[in-house]
Chains A and B, each alone.
Chain A
Amino acid sequence: MSDEPRARLARLLGPAAAEVPCDTCFEQLDVYVELERAGADAEAAVPGMRAHLAGCPACAEDHEALHALLDAEG
């Protein structure tokens, strides 16, 4: 393995905090992203979302993609 050991450990162990599952992440993604963009406390509205996004690369990609699309729309 050529990647950094700490990054490898982080991927193996995942987030320590409680997290939402993938289904809930998808259900709440639009709400969470709009709150983030409004500067509101998105994590308070969807507890466990931040931990899930840290532990699930696919959901993190969806989160990034939605921000990118809304950025592009201006």
Chain B
Amino acid sequence: MLIPAASVAAVTAPLPARSFPDTDSEAWIAALGAPPGPDRDAAVERLHALLRRAARFELRRRGTRVDLEDHAVQAADDALVAILAKLSTYRGQSRFTTWAYKFALLEAAVHARRRAWQGREVALGDDGWAIVPDGAPGPGVDAETSELLRAVQDAIATALTPHQRSVLVALTLQGVPIDVLAERLGTTRGALYKTLHDARRKLRAELALQGLHPIEGGVR
């Protein structure tokens, strides 16, 4: 499914037939799909160990030092539940381990980001857009960028709903991680990104009305 620049349309593609890129991936699926018993339990334990290793790697890469093993186990637990629930969606388009790793890395990242923001307030207010500076030309701000900054600030104030404004400011200016904001607002990462996308689309439309067409690195 694509989110086009001008509109949002859901496209549901049929799942491709399952095939396997290698014998290892095929063996994983056979073992995890086996009837309940010692063989399947052993496969699940091997998978959990794989997920723990991936989560540990990611937490370490992000600088987590305190309670690293506890967080790695929690991330692996969450990833394992997700993987077993979605096992039928694995189509063999990548190696099974690559497919499984992404679940562990996601959970580890969510743990790390939430831990980093634990106890930090996320201030969501209608006036958050005011932190956009006035955009006056000066050192490091050329005339084109200045014009765009002013136009974007005006568009944030006039074209967005209060919710769109809060989400846009929190995610793009205050640096609040999207899954942290989703948790605080009781929503999902996907729903928040949709709000962000819609807000950005409105901003671009407002700029276009003024003849401003921002491109990478400038205005055309």
Residues of A with Cβ closer than 8 Å to B?
Answer: 1, 4-6, 8-14, 16-24, 26-27, 29-31, 33-34, 47-48, 55-58, 61-62, 65-66, 68-70, 72
Other-chain contact of A62, B105, B190, B194, B217 (Cβ < 8 Å): B105
Q: Tell me the bound Cα distance from A24 to B101 in angstroms.
A: 16
Other-chain contact of B102, A14, A22, A29 (Cβ < 8 Å): A29
The answer to whether B42 has its CB under 8 Å from any CB of chain A is no
Other-chain contact of B1, A5, A24, A55, A70 (Cβ < 8 Å): A24
Contacts of B161 in A (CB 8 A): none
Contact yes or no, A66 B1, CB < 8 A: no
Per CB-CB distance, the 5 closest pairs between chain A and chain B, nearest first, are A30-B94, A14-B200, A11-B172, A18-B4, A65-B105
Contact yes or no, A20 B196, CB < 8 A: no
Contact yes or no, A70 B98, CB < 8 A: yes
Q: Tell me the bound Cα distance from A20 to B168 in angstroms.
A: 18
Count residues on chain B whose CB falls below 8 Å from chain A CBs: 54
Contacts of B47 in A (CB 8 A): none
Q: Can you give 15 contacting A-B residue pairs, CB < 8 Å?
A: A1-B131, A8-B132, A9-B149, A12-B152, A13-B200, A16-B215, A21-B3, A30-B99, A47-B2, A48-B3, A56-B178, A57-B177, A65-B109, A66-B101, A66-B105
Q: Tell me the bound Cα distance from A65 to B189 in angstroms.
A: 18
Q: Tell me the bound Cα distance from A31 to B93 in angstroms.
A: 6
Chain A CB count within 10 A is highest, among B1, B5, B98, B168, for B98
The digit string for B107-145, where 1 denotes a CB below 8 A from any CB of A, is: 011000100000000000000000111010000110001
Known: A56-B193, A68-B61. A18 touches B2 (CB 8 A): yes
Contacts of B71 in A (CB 8 A): none
Contact yes or no, A48 B172, CB < 8 A: no
Q: Tell me the bound Cα distance from A66 to B197 in angstroms.
A: 25
Look across to chain B and name the residue whose beta carbon is closest to the beta carbon of A58: B178
